[in-house]
Amino acid sequence: MLFIRNKKGVLRGMAALLALFLLVTLLPGGNVQAASRTGHYQKRYKAKVSYPVWGQPAYGVVINRIRNGKVRFQISKAGVNGSPIYNSNVIKAKLKGKKASFRWKDTWGNSGTGKLKFGKNCVKVKVNQLQTARMNRSTLDTGGKFLKLKKISSDRKLFIY
């Protein structure tokens, strides 16, 4: 009797171990590297003005989601003391390696094209404005150069307008 009980225990233990092994190998693995790229990236500038400055101008990108070879993000720019504020629409672009090309439109009616590159703990963005809206005060345009923005948080909240 003792021998049979031991044999059943060993079989149960092996069955449980096999079930655990199958569970771990069959679960879909998430893209850990892509998830770590999401978040808020920013570059601040020094203001060269003759009045008091309480808010430095800044350029920002929020990477909201990276899934199935697509990236979802938004670009924003705030002038001195937060005026004016430009937010792009929510941009969805296909990733080719670590790069994406996209079209954009902002809250003031400007629009254009751009490129986004992922680096280590940063993103590089180049934005070209093709259409300028009437009453335009500033631009998301980067002057034909890539801006390097450093990651400042893991916040993925977009500025929906």
102: Cα separation from own chain's centroid: 14
Token pair belonging to 127: 């934005």
How far apart (Å, rounded) are the C-alpha atoms in residues 118 and 43?
A: 15
- Contact (CB, 8 A) for 60 and 52: no
Ordered by start, the domain boundaries in the chain are 1-29, 32-153
How far apart (Å, rounded) are the C-alpha atoms in residues 23 and 29?
A: 12
Query: What average pLDDT score do residues 117-135 get?
Result: 92
Beta bridge partners of 133: none
Token pair belonging to 48: 């060269």
pTM above 0.75, yes or no: no
| Lowest mean pLDDT segment, chosen from 10-14, 16-20, 111-115 | 16-20
Domain 32-153 = CATH 2.40.160: yes
